[in-house]
Structure 1
Amino acid sequence: MSAATLNTSTATLNDGNKIPYVGFGTWQVNDETDGYDALIYALKHGYRHIDTAFAYKNEAVVGKAVRDSGIPREEIFVVSKLWGKDHRDPAAALDKSLKLLGLDYVDLYLMHWPVPFKNIEDKDEIDEDWNHVKTWELMQKLPKSKVKSIGVSNYDTALLEELSKAPTTTVVPVINQVELHPYLAQDKLRDYCNEHKIVLEAYCPLGKGTKLLEEPIVVELAEKYKVSPGQIALSWGIARGYVVIPKSSTPSRIEANLHTVKLSKEDEEKLTSLSKTNPQRRVRPGWKTKILFNDDDF
């Protein structure tokens, strides 16, 4: 029998709002991939945190599932993200996302990448006359009636420090959503965010595109705790204080991902050591990577 239990715990953000530790990721989730059915299944089986983005092109599907689920809107934590072409007008971008979602508000709105693009169709060209600090200045002015909390994504410590020192910054991001898994523990970033009361949120928490779930230590701990390797990876993230957003369209895995175990400190550290022996980052966008990921030590 599995030792995993349903994880309904929440993290408290620096503005007092609460976010469920386990969310449902929707990258590449759409009607063509049975996305609506997967979302409904997830909500019916206990998920109360759904992560989407304008760039995912699935906000309409996500919003429909939230509305059709029968669960009161205030019980579901909905996240969306500002895309690079909208950095000069986050208010209009938010309205565009809300219209697609069919919702009056989102619980959290993130700057998807700290990289502004020129608004050119079918082309991601850097907007050299704009920067993430100016974008954040505008995001701070978004109405509370439409967004309860604001945060960032894909920031390293250098960019967070640049943002915090800007004279226009009056609001500390509540969350920094980044790639996090045992191959990429990001200790420096974790320490910085803990110090500044910024919650880290893990995308790719299962190490998608790697052989993380086949690692001997992951398999060994899965057998020890009587859970799946995926549940070990998610439990590791939660043990380190991360919010995790796994994605699956398979009903059994959707359910399993919401059930985690409490790892011993020793086992947590064994998993963290993978980031030293076999460090890997999977997400490296092709544009201006020199301004990103300064914390990598590999």
Structure 2
Amino acid sequence: MRRFINLQTDLLRTFVSVVELGGHSKAGAALGRSQPAISLQIRRLEDLVGATLLTQDGRTPVPTQDGELLLGFAREMVRINDEAVSYFHRAEIAGVLRIGLPTDYAVAFLRTALTDFSHAHPEVELEIRCDLSRKLHRQLRADELDIIIAVMPSAQMPYLSRSWVERPVWAAAETFVLKPASPVPLAAHPEGCEYRSRMVNALDAASRRWRIVYVDPGISGIQNAVLNGLCVSAVTRATLLPGMRILDASVGFPPLESLRVGLFYKHPRLSDAGLKLVSDLVNKLDTIGAGENAHSA
């Protein structure tokens, strides 16, 4: 008969805190425990799973390969535990939440989960920043943001809760006509944007000339430039608007490389309001089109 092993939530919480806060002493301060007590809990967890979970990078503990695998489970188990406790203890959903969104996702997510959350919890103040994904990751690490949705430059990243794959598409106005000998006029976000690099790389690989004629940090500006027939751009299907059409290889536009997008947060830093919003976002991702390719961390 198989022996059932229970992974205690307090051990998993300690493990997540050590990794996400960057050390045993910081985790101890957040959890109200001494550093030796934190080390003991990590050893107990390693004994339960039968694997080494942490190694050292200088003075900073980092998860091993087994630790990375357990971390994804641990973050989700602790989140669900805290969500249940928050519900039964009727936690106060109030305060300020700082949300970071990449420019291309501001429209889709503000229109759905974030606006629904704001209407359901008017006592929570949402501060939403739209920026390049690399800047959002930096601001989350610096505790300047609480929750971000951002493009992932690599498959494994800190603070990841959910990830999914998006394939951008070429979009133009329905009336747009490109002269065969002319460079492709592009609308793009500023340098550093993953969508911009995918457009340029795809056209370079197909030996097609291009020029950037419109730059805007916001998705609405890009959409308007496309709708006005000024240029073409790469967008997600969620940000296609009436009056736009998709351009494909049949008209000389090569497929764009897909990208991975993730939902990120530091669980030890998350308030009850943040926990509720993360749960709402996770539920949303599991039910919308992105959920077809969504993966738990």
Q: TM-score, normalised by structure 1?
A: 0.26
Give 1 or 2: higher strand fraction: 2
Higher RCO (C-alpha 8 Å, min separation 6): 2
Give 1 or 2: higher helix fraction: 2
Give 1 or 2 for the bigger CA radius of gyration. Answer: 2
Q: TM-score, normalised by structure 2?
A: 0.26
